[in-house]
Each structure stands twice: as C-alpha cells, then as structure tokens.
Amino acid sequence: MALILGLPTDGLPVTGMTMSSFEALQAECLDQFGVAPCKKECRGCCIKLTWLRDLKENLQLTDEISIRRYVKCHIMLLIGMILFGDKSGAAVHSKFLPLLRDFGSIGQYSWGSACLAHLYRVLCRASRFNNSFALNKYIILGGVTGSFVWAAYSMDRVDPNIIPLEIYMQSVIWSATVPLVSFECIEWHATDRIRRQFSFVQGVPNQEQNLDKAHGKVLTSPKNLNWATALTHSYWVMHWTNRYNHVLSEVPMPSQYPLEYYMDWY
C-alpha cells in the first residue's frame, strides 16, 4: 500500500461514527462542500460518484475554501474508485466524509492499513477454496524453489527515483502483527506467517487469530454506530493503537530455503 499507492501506513485508525440517515449525509455534504446531493444522487448511505465528479468539475478555484472542496472531492473519488471500491464502482460510502473535516489532519490517518483491510475482506469474500488453495500452494512452492522474490520492494532492489526515500520512513511498522482497521472492517495482518517478506527467517507462526464477531461485519443495513468504541471493535482498535509493541524484531538474515521444522509444520 505504501510502495505501490504511496499511502501513509502509520497513524490514526480509519474509524469513527457511521450515520444511516439521509439527513445526516446531506448535512455532512453541505458542511464540507457547500451543497448537498438529492436522494436520486445517492444510494442508501453512499454518494454516487457522478455527483462528486460533476461537483469537482464545476468548482471555481477562486479561494482556499473552493480549493479544499476540490481536493476533498478528488479524495472521495479516489476512495470510491480505487482505494475502497466495490463491484458496482458507482458510489462511495459517506462514512469517510467526517475524516475529511479537518483538512490538515487528513494525512494523519493510516489510509494504507485501512485499504489493505478492505483488500483482505473482498479477497476473503471472492475466493473459493480450490482457487485459494492452488494460489497458496504455488506461492509456498515458489518460495521453496527460490523463484519467488519475497522482498521485492527492498531498498536495494528499487531505483530511488521511482520510490522516494520518504515512503520508507514508516516501514518500521510494516511488519507489525496487528489488526487492520477500516470502520466495520477488521482484518488480521499476519506478518508472522510471511517473515521472509521482511528478510527474517520463517519459523512456525503463531496460532491463527480469531477476530470473533468483528470479522464479517457489513454496512448493508442502517447502522448508527461509533466503530471505534463498539463492543466488537474497540479491543482491535486499541490493539492497533499499540502497534509498535507488535513489530517483528530480530536481526534480518538472508534465508533462501525454509527451515526444516517449518516445512514439517506446513
């Protein structure tokens, strides 16, 4: 997420309040854009991308307020089309709008980890057992034979003119074994199962994490809820807050072949 999309990976969890009423959606848009969509320009709690696109194209960039509205439209379009898109590709959930209220704080959120949580969730839904088994088998065997490059984006492999050095500044937490948070979506970042990606020797990983009721939550029905303090989510949000305590720590060692006891476990 950091290296391909340039998203911040350290920072505040992407979470907060979701409001299901159309009136709340209109009030939020009116506050941030100076104009609100009508019902036909929305889909439930989602704003149609066509409305945002038209608003962006018709804004007159004459002052700081209009420029900020333009940037917020652009961010919401990125969220809906690329970062947190769904199979419809036609709308973006209004839950992200409150995170854009404070213009100077937008970059303080861990958009990268939230985007990864979304990716894991849709892969979980879209994958069938026989397909995912074949994929995992190929990856594992690729690592065994040495044909799979685990640390493809390490600094010694990438031209610094392609990926700026400042992107690597947050890399200290890339290996943190933590929950990834995006409102109702909680997914586990199982870095202890891909230690070779961080130039560590792969030993037997920990028992798989049970996210209990936090896993599988959806926003297809009205939910007026603060996900940061919800009973099913608050523990995992706090776990993310303590992410620096869960970073993988050992001396990096080049390991071309897996450990025998790991292969026995696998």
pLDDT digits (tens, 9 = 90+) for 151-191: 888 778 888 788 888 888 899 999 999 999 999 999 999 99
Other beta carbons within 10 Å of 22: 16
Q: Where are the beta strands (DSSP E) in the chain?
A: 17-18, 42-43, 46-48, 91-93, 179-182, 185-188, 225-226
Q: What is the per-residue pLDDT for 207?
A: 87
Q: Which residue has the higher pLDDT, 16 or 255?
A: 16
The encoded tokens of residue 72 equal 């917020």
Q: For residue 141, name the pLDDT band (cuts at 50, 70, 90).
A: very low
Q: Is 178 within 8 Å of 239 (Cβ atoms)?
A: yes
Q: How far apart are CA 258 and CA 200, in angstroms?
A: 11
What pTM was computed for the model?
Answer: 0.87
Sign of the Cα torsion 161, 162, 167, 171 reads: negative
Q: What is the per-residue pLDDT for 139?
A: 42
Q: What is the pLDDT of residues 192-247, one digit of tens each?
A: 998 888 888 888 888 888 888 888 788 876 688 999 999 999 999 999 999 999 99
Q: Is 43 within 8 Å of 35 (Cβ atoms)?
A: no
Q: For residue 138, name the pLDDT band (cuts at 50, 70, 90).
A: very low
